[in-house]
Structure 1
Amino acid sequence: MKTILHIDTSARRTDNDIQEFNSISKTLAAHFMDKWMTLNTEDEVIYRDIGLNPPEYISQDWIAAVFTPDESKTDEQRALLALSDTLIDEVDQADIIVISSPMYNYGMPAALKSWFDQVVRIGKTFTFDLARGDFPIEPIMSGKKLVLISSSGEFGFEIGGIREKMNHLGPHVKTASKYLGVEEFYEIKSEYQEFADERHENSLKDAYRDIDELVTQLS
């Protein structure tokens, strides 16, 4: 039995009266989860929609609390870190993390960046030791898989694509997730949303097909 941490990040919902207003990334992620649970009925799911309920931004006081030894933390500092502790516990439980995310301004939504800032935390998800030389940071957790299901208005963000250097979503998520113990990273993309043409429809069909194949592969 596995535990899946499912995180949606789009500001859009999926229950709008007008279909075109619905989040593509959330809809694709819901298909992934439906397919997964059909094949893995005993698995546990932890779900958060941080697009609708974004985590708080970190602050100077939050940073001070992180670097205060546990035995010296005040009640106020413990309260500041309560959300971070909960989010980190969810990551710790997860065998597979499924993140759905639109590309906003060529990068991740602010809510997803805030989530990463809350969970990538010294002493909890990574250690820091200058004895390691120029690479002092090492993850504490290990063995996790992450599936990023993304949507974008344009296209060509893949390696070798015409907008490869403009892609600050997938590479950022992949880099940051290493410090959550992620050792296998997968991304399924839907593109061409702003063009709303046959290329977009084909991209959606390909994404649904790729999801089905990946679920079968990982199950």
Structure 2
Amino acid sequence: MNILQVDSSASGALSVTRELTAAVAQALLAAHPGARLTHRDLVAQAPAHLDNALLQSLRPQPGVALSSDPAFLKEVAYTDTLLNEFLEADVVVVGAPMYNFSVPSQLKAWIDRLAQAGKTFRYTAEGPQGLAGGKRVIIVSSRGGMYAGTKFEQLMDHQEAYLRAVFGFFGITDVEIVRAEGVGMGPEAREKALALARDQSRGYAKAA
């Protein structure tokens, strides 16, 4: 089994999601001896945001030549690396803290590299069809406030809802959430949220 752990928090050692993605990944390894873990740190090696050249590389237009600039070619090669890691993974553990009601820009840039017609999705006469199904995605979510089950969820959750939509578009139906929310509401609330999420993370060590 191939496990891909993706981290996008810029908080370093203070990150809630980094602690929890590591816990989930280690629990999965314990449950599946012989599994292979790949760790992708999107802050340490951030994908460049899309510009005209990168967009052309992802969605080629007839008659338009690609740039030969070395920095651009390096980003194209990085795109291939990110896509192959994702497609080869059986389980993807995504660390996704909520930043201003959405996801970190590094995580959005990663998704932009994965969203390639003919690779992770295609358009058909019946509508879009995901091509990356059959894998499991575990979203590790952290939030400073409380959103799940409140009046703010529908208005302000452009984090978990967005990720569910994206992975669903890629054809992935097995999407789970490990959530720690309220972590910005004081030390007691933070520790309570972390304790619940840690318990959930340890649950992945159960034999499959």
Q: TM-score, normalised by structure 2?
A: 0.88
- The residue number in structure 2 matching 1:205 is 195
Secondary structure of the structure 1 residue equivalent to 2:87:
helix
User: What's the secondary structure of 2:26's corresponding residue?
Assistant: helix
Q: Deviations over 1:155-189 (max 9, x none)?
A: 1x22x323212111101011111233422010111
Deviations 1:68-96 (A, max 9, x none): 379x8647399253222211111110011
Q: Contact (CA 8 Å) 1:120, 1:179: kept in 2 or not?
A: no
Q: Distance in 1 between matches of 2:58 and 2:46?
A: 20
2:76 to 62, 78, 81: 81
Which among 20, 30, 34 is matched to residue 28 of structure 1?
20
SS of the aligned residue for 2:109 comes to: helix
Structure 1 moving runs of 4+ over 4 Å: 72-75
Alignment match, 1:178:
168
How many residues align? The count is 204
Amino acid at match of 2:52: Q
Flag the 1:193–1:67 CA change in 2: closer, same or farther, 3 A. closer
Aligned-partner Cα distance in 2 for 1:106–1:69: 34
> Which amino acid letter does the alignment assign opposite residue 82 of structure 1?
A
Q: Distance in 1 between matches of 2:131 and 2:179?
A: 29
Write the deviation string for residues 26-54 of structure 1: whole angstroms up to 9, x where unpaired. Answer: 01111112222222220011111102321
C-alpha contact 1:37 1:43 (8 A) present in aligned 2:
yes
CA RMSD of aligned residues (A): 2.3
**Residue 162 (1) aligns with residue 161 (2):** no
The correspondence of residues 73-112 of structure 1 with structure 2, limited to 5 A, is: 74=66, 76=68, 79=73, 81-112=76-107
Identity of aligned residues (%): 24
* Letter of the structure 2 residue corresponding to residue 114 of structure 1: A
Q: SS at 2:9's partner residue?
A: coil
* 8 A contact 1:10–1:26 mirrored in 2: yes
Does residue 143 (structure 1) correspond to residue 143 (structure 2)? The answer is no
Q: How far apart, CA to CA, are the structure 1 residues paired with 2:67 and 2:187?
A: 55
Higher relative contact order (CA 8 A, sep 6+): 2
Contact 2:53/2:67, CA 8 A, preserved across alignment: no
Unaligned segments of structure 1, at least 5 residues:
15-21
